[in-house]
Amino acid sequence: MLNKKNFYINGEWIKPNSSEEITVVDPATEENCAVITLGDKIDVDKAVKAAKNAYESWAFSSKEDRIGLLEKLYENYKKRWADIAKAITLEMGAPKDFASKLQAGTGASHIKSFIRYLKNFEFEKPLGEHAPNQRLIYEPKGVCALITPWNWPMNQVCLKVMPAMAAGCTMVLKPSELAPLSSMILAEIVDEVKFPKGVFNLVNGDGATTGDALTSHPDINMISFTGSTRAGALISQNAAKDFKRVSLELGGKGANIIFKDADPEAIERGAFRCFRNSGQSCNAPTRMLVEKSMYNEAIERLKKYTENFEVGDPKKEGEHIGPVISENQFKKIQALIQKGIDEGAKLVAGGTGKPDGLDKGYFVKPTVFADVNNNMEVARTEIFGPVLSVIPFDSEEDAIKIANDTTYGLTNYIQSQDHDKVKRVARKLRSGMVDVNGAGIAVDAPFGGFKHSGIGREAGEFGLEEFLEVKAVGGWS
């Protein structure tokens, strides 16, 4: 259990003003593992004031000073790597090896990447040779509200905190109340590194009270949010009142197009990517579009693969999936699986209920539906669980049409050995990212989507620029 001082404001761990507490639940055991306080308006005001005061000097700190502090943070992060991974396993059920290699690992990768981009970034540069006395100046956007989710806690926190620090912004971080423990370790690291007081502040809380107080606060200049599309819309409404800058990374319903000339591992690889992290990834390929000439073969392979896919205790080593985050999420997934059955989709593997031998914990059976059409709810709703919907298609044009027939546009996938076809299809898919033949998306590639999948891009140089305003100066000499 955490002590009562679980807010980090102005360089100190403090006891919150609010007395409203909630428990953090280990989703593998359904047992309480920590207690946090939900920050109220007074707590948010303290944190924002600290960030606003710190901005006056931090915004004009040298690039070299910021690089030095971020390099120290990276070294200290590596020392706490095991602690971060253990916290992620406890708070959101990520299996031990996955939590270390990928969950904690992506956080480290982003820190290292942003240091590299900061070193090479020009905060002042000429407009061009045609206008030698015209200057562009990149300046930090100001005080930022950073609101992060529970499904990839350290990945998302580092995608926001590190570029904000690199840009010269100050910030208030509100991690998900379901998985706040790893973020509190990061706050300990920031404290150890001795960033100037008020640059980084952490306030725990929920969306309805703490998040609303943050996003509507008049002294917040920018909001960077990752979470549901519904919450993103509400945040945008709050921000519009005084024209706050907004970056939103929201939901997805990725299509994985399997052409008949796909490589031999494409079917199983697609299922694995859907089920990984217990299906709790916004960029998961949850709609598998299969060319009709190989459709029956694909269904048989998926049935065999899924029936042998392991679900188990996240505290043990190995490549398996753990529970989903909460009882509410478990119930939502169960209802959507039942909805798929009721709508007439063919249940190939999995289904409702928990896997055999896992009566305790929010474990979900990896589930595959065949003969899905794109109008069914399982094909349109972001389920956020290990549920795969398989849809047949006739032609390249048909596949593109089905893939784009969604309100989302985060990540789509193409499996084909025909490079010309891959290029044609990739250009026509309405999504911010396209993964071809399992190549993956680089850690510093722009991460973000079209349509209801959000606004803006995270990671790499694009992620750094999200926290910068551009000023044009004429007559510079």
d(CA 79, CA 192): 12
Q: Which of 144, 158, 169, 282 is catalytic?
A: 282
Angle 308-314-316 from CA coordinates, rounded to 5°: 85
- What are the distances in angstroms from CA 432 to CA 96, 300, 443, 451? 31, 32, 15, 9
Asked if 416 and 259 touch (Cβ cutoff 8 Å), the reply is yes
Chain centroid to CA 417: 30
Alpha-carbon dihedral sign for residues 432, 436, 438, 443: negative
Active-site annotation holds for 282: yes
Active-site annotation holds for 144: no
d(CA 342, CA 80): 48
SS3 string, the chain, reads: CCCCCCEEECCEEECCCCCCEEEEEECCCCEEEEEEECCCHHHHHHHHHHHHHHHHHHCCCCHHHHHHHHHHHHHHHHHCHHHHHHHHHHHHCCCHHHHHHHHHHHHHHHHHHHHHHHHHCCCEEEEECCEEEEEEEEEECCEEEEECCCCCHHHHHHHHHHHHHHHCCEEEEECCCCCCHHHHHHHHHHHHHCCCCCCEEECCCCHHHHHHHHHCCCCCCEEEEECCHHHHHHHHHHHHCCCCEEEEECCCCCEEEECCCCCCCHHHHHHHHHHHHHHCCCCCCCEEEEEHHHHHHHHHHHHHHHHCCCECCCCCCCCCECCCCCHHHHHHHHHHHHHHHHHCCEEEECCCCCCCCCCCCCCCCCEEEECCCCCCHHHHCCCCCCEEEEEEECCHHHHHHHHHCCCCCCEEEEECCCHHHHHHHHHHCCCCEEEECCCCCCCCCCECCCHHHEECCECHHHHHHCCEEEEEEECCC
Q: Which of 249, 458, 461, 466 is catalytic?
A: 249
Catalytic residue numbers read 249, 282
